[in-house]
Structure 1
Amino acid sequence: MTDVARAVGVSHQTVSRVLNDHPNVRPETRERVLEAIKSLGYRRNSAARALVTRHSGMLGVVCFDTTLYGPASTVYGIEQAARAAGYFISIVSLKEITRANVQEAIDHLADQGVDGIIVVAPQRSAAQAIADIPDGIPVVAVEGGHAPGASVVCVDQVAGATAVVEHLLELGHETVWHVAGPPDWLEAEARLLGWREVLEAAGRAAPKPLPGDWSPRSGYEAGRQLLRMPDVTAVFVANDQMALGVLRAFAEAGRDIPGEVSIAGFDDIPESEFFSPPLTTVRQDFAKVGSRSLDVLLRQMDSSGSADLERVVVPPEFVQRESTAGPPGP
């Protein structure tokens, strides 16, 4: 900063005002300072800045299984929103979700001096572990259900499942089968709930859900089971990867989709519109989840922990494609 001030012929304080967007700097002076910063290759010293402002400019993210489309897209959305707001992200990815592991991740981020933490908590055990986060650290849970002691930002999973099942019933199907996600995942639980509530409200029988683990392999195995059930005409699959496996099982058996059986998924992964046939599904706005999560966290940080806890629900979007149609005729 001293070198920049000397090059421009202004005070050290003027350079500081320019760097901090202070209004009391003449436009021509600001422009000269910025040109000198560029020509001299000036870079801010983040560590020194943190000592002065008592803010590190760093946010922590704890996440789980970022190989899956949903969690990976959520983390990407958070990172993009944080960068736009001038923050850096430090990520701790956990393979196994236990209270001890979550606490270790939180301690690691706290030791780095992060200003706040976002926990991508799609599993019940992760949401419960948030209760152990020390007071004084602003925290937001993403897809954390009703995480105790934390604000929550989530997609309305029940509404997404409701849209799919109502669509299939409106096409004329008598009932809808369901390939569910892992039972410890809050998203799977909410999608299962939406499916069941629509069938019950319509007075339709709810077949026993088939278990899955989010993978195409588990969807394929569920599809092979469904092939042994002659009354199946419509299937709601809890994510698109499993729906891909179901489609493969039916294709191998020579069953026409959607002529004989309609299949719908959830997530709208980039490949969904190129499945054979293109998949009817539910789109989650992960960019909005990221920006809303950051907004809530910044409010928590600005209030020094005194802000009321928030619950922000992002609506999903139903996407109809060629994998669903009316049931086959008699």
Structure 2
Amino acid sequence: MTTIKEIAEKSGYSSATVSRLLNNDPNLSITADTKNKILELANKLGYWESHQGKKIKPTIALLYRVNHQEQLQDEYFISLKEKIIETTKSQGIKMEVFEDINDLINHASLFQGFLGVGSDEISINSLQKLHKVLSNGVFIDTNPAPNLFDSIKPNLFLTVKDAINQLLKVGYEKIGFIGGLGQKFDHIQEKDIREIAFKEYITTRNIKHAPMYVSGPFSVENGYQLGKLAAKKELPQAFVIASDTLSVGVLQAFNEAGINVPRDVAIISINNSDVAKYVSPPLTSYNINQEEMVLQAISMLTDLIMRPNRPYEEVNVNTNLIVRKSFIPKK
């Protein structure tokens, strides 16, 4: 069994310093370099295996990547950021926010790990550089490099399947989809998981009339344009819309075209953002539990710092439907 005395002797620091660090003394004042050296040695000596009930409070960074071009589009990630700041503060974890990955790379030695949030484009080259200097990282909601970092995400594949099932239960046979493009990684445009899930599941359920309108960003303006396009075509009985932000634009377009929701077409949205309650009609929307994702992400990061050689993990958190007026499911 690895002891604090053994770590102290091999690290060159006093037993008191090592003990205070490993027991999360909030009043301990040591440099980031000292902290990293002691924790690295504790990992090598297998300290955590023989003290499995213990947890550490690391000093971490938050890599926050948003483009600030659309307020509602960024609202989801702004909310995530606020919950991360609130949770780390309540747990006594020190954290610094970075919006530029190169800035974080240059200051990596100050931290034991990082959390990643946001949808702005990022290159695999930058992520590889970050991994070399700060390998312990957990991305929340999306993971641009699953072979390099952990991630925790909402289970959007299951969410879309459940939405289709809810619509089928009330007898709808014509179900459409409105969505945006997925993220870009290294200039490669990926398909959004919600679009993939919809295409796959309508085939599984043998839904013949399933129009899809997918293009552009997850913004109100793009939702408006897609809604205008859908309004000119034969409407399905319901739409699954990939985000509340898009839904706001779609509702504007439908209102201008004289299309009544839910009388003419029902809508199930995703995100359950604050705006979902205040549009007309209020949106039935799947709630993404950001608080739970943040708690699990911090736990995953702490575990990764203590066991850096374990396999990388991807965790999915299920959503729950919040019923409002745009669609009433069958009880």
| TM-score (normalised: structure 2) | 0.74
Residue correspondence of structure 1 range 138-287 to structure 2 within 5 A: 138-142=136-140, 143-144=142-143, 147-184=146-183, 189-205=192-208, 206-287=210-291
What is the aligned-residue RMSD (CA, Å)?
A: 3.2
Query: What SS is found at the alignment partner of 2:97?
Result: strand
Runs of 4 or more above 4 Å deviation: 19-22, 43-46, 49-57, 121-129, 185-188
Structure 1: give runs of 5+ residues left out of the alignment: 1-14, 23-42, 95-101
Separation in 2 of the partners of 1:123 and 1:211? 17
Q: Given the superposition, is the C-alpha separation of residues 82 and 127 from structure 1 closer, same or farther in structure 2, using an over 3 Å criterion?
A: farther
- The one-letter code matched in structure 1 to 2:298 is L
Q: Residues 166 and 110 of structure 1: is their aligned pair in 2 closer, same or farther, counting only changes over 3 Å?
A: same
Change (3 A) 1:70 1:129: farther
Distance 1:81 1:130 in 2: 25
**Which has the larger Rg?**
1
Q: 1:250 and 1:312 mapped to 2: Cα distance? A: 37
Deviates more, 1:180-189 or 1:317-326: 180-189
SS of residue in 1 equivalent to 2:115: strand
What secondary structure sits across from 2:310 in the alignment? coil
Q: Which secondary structure state, in structure 2, belongs to the residue aligned with residue 178 of structure 1? A: strand
Does 1:314 pair with 2:317?
yes
Displacement of 1:50 in angstroms is 4.6
1:168 deviation in Å?
1.9
Number of aligned residues: 282
2:47 paired residue number: none
Change (3 A) 1:315 1:145: farther
> Is 2:326 aligned against 1:323?
yes
Q: Any conservation in 1 of the 2:113–2:305 contact (CA below 8 Å)?
A: yes
1:62 maps to: 63
| Letter matched to residue 167 of structure 2 | L
- Change in 2 beyond 3 A, CA 1:121/1:273: closer
Q: Which moved more, 1:50-59 or 1:68-77?
A: 50-59
Shift of 1:180: 1.1
Contact 2:238–2:265 (CA under 8 A) maintained in structure 1: yes
Alpha-carbon contact 2:58-2:302 (below 8 Å) kept: no
Q: Distance in 2 between matches of 1:129 and 1:169?
A: 45
User: Are the aligned partners of 2:272 and 2:288 in contact in 1 as well (CA < 8 Å)?
Assistant: yes
